[in-house]
Amino acid sequence: MIVKGIPGQTVFDIALKHYGSLEGIRFLMEDNQVSGQNIVNVGDLNGVNISIRKGVVLNKQVVDYFATKTIVTR
């Protein structure tokens, strides 16, 4: 699944929303690079297409909570 980053969104926000845990950053690092950089080094992910592993959820309660919410750190 591909999601597009929004203004102010970071890799931490994406990990919480789609995997339910900051441990999801590992998957984001393995599956994404932006301009040759690891996605963690990018900062603001506005407009960046981000690959999310379909069906992989580390904490369903957190994913369910954020399903209808927007997470933006900056």
pTM (2 d.p.): 0.85
- Please give the backbone phi and psi of residue 61, each rounded to the nearest 5 degrees, phi first: -60, -40
Distance of CA 62 to the CA centre of its chain: 13
CA 44 – CA 8 distance, rounded (Å): 5
pLDDT reported for residue 46: 87
pLDDT reported for residue 38: 63
CA 11 – CA 30 distance, rounded (Å): 12
CA 31 – CA 61 distance, rounded (Å): 24
pLDDT along the chain (74 residues), means of 10: 92 94 92 69 80 96 95 82
